[in-house]
Amino acid sequence: MSAGRILVVDDEPQIRRVMRTTLTASGYEIDDAKTGEEALEKVREFRPDLVLLDINMPGMGGLAACREIRQGSTAAIIMLTVRNREADKVEALDSGADDFITKPFSTPELLARIRAALRRVPSTSASLTGRVTVGALVIDFPARSVQRGAAAAHLTPKELDLLRYLIQHANEAVPHRELLQAVWGPDYGDQVDYLRVFIKNLRRKIEADPEHPELILTEPWVGYRFSGTPQS
């Protein structure tokens, strides 16, 4: 049985060959693309569970491709980059990526990042497997969507997992480290910038006024708190 379907997108043939060999040996089903434009076609045809997407490519770059993929797919996305600046990492996450990895990277690191991106936060409540309302907000977990009045938006896999965990601990201050390790895995904990980006994007999608949030509140020096009483 396949461990998952992965689309490798990189303009360097050698990297695509190495990734295909490495990931196939680890039980994944692999397809690849050499451009962002080709990646969009492969996402529709191959329907991957995860996309490994190079940030620097000719034509449509990785960031633009990431945003396009996010319009119609809930596949996990890991950006591959040679850049290690914090601003570049934030930009990758802000484009809809679930994670990023800096070249060169080791096989164990790559596989760990893939497992983290594909992991799902288990629901401890039956009510969090269907539709949940919080005031005027309707969260449809199976459809990965949120709606407030006429405004609707789709959530990325990690946005959904993060929102699910916060709701499971509604009205509790959840520390940064706990959120990171619950959603991304035990190897995470210090990447607070991850949370800032994902919380910002979640607020855009669920808050009436993202600049003055009423649902996802910041607990200074601690973490975040979901304020409200979810109803199934």
Looking up residue 136, the CATH number of its domain turns out to be 1.10.10.10
Q: Identify the band that residue 223 occupies on the pLDDT scale cut at 50, 70 and 90.
A: very high
Tokens encoding 3? 């461990």
Q: Identify the band that residue 123 occupies on the pLDDT scale cut at 50, 70 and 90.
A: low
Domain final position from 76, 92, 118: 118
Under 8 Å between Cβ of 51 and 69: yes
pTM here is: 0.79
pLDDT digit string (tens) for 189-199? 787 887 888 89
Q: Domain range for residue 75?
A: 5-118
> In terms of domains, do 20 and 75 share one?
yes
pLDDT digit string (tens) for 3-53? 899 999 999 999 999 999 999 999 999 999 999 999 999 999 999 999 999
Q: Nearest 5 degrees, angle CA 111-CA 190-CA 77?
A: 40
Q: How many domains does the chain have?
A: 2
The number of helices, as runs of H, and strands, as runs of E, in the chain is: 8, 12
pLDDT at residue 52, rounded to an integer: 96
pLDDT at residue 10, rounded to an integer: 94
pLDDT digit string (tens) for 55-108? 988 888 899 999 999 888 889 999 998 876 777 777 888 888 888 888 888 999
Domain final position from 100, 118, 136: 118
pLDDT digit string (tens) for 197-211? 889 989 999 999 999
> In terms of domains, do 110 and 11 share one?
yes
**152 part of a folded domain:** yes
pLDDT digit string (tens) for 126-180? 556 688 898 889 999 888 889 988 888 888 888 889 999 999 999 999 999 999 9
> In terms of domains, do 71 and 171 share one?
no
**69 part of a folded domain:** yes
Tokens encoding 20? 């295909």
**232 part of a folded domain:** no
> CA neighbours within 13 Å on the CB side: how many for 89?
14
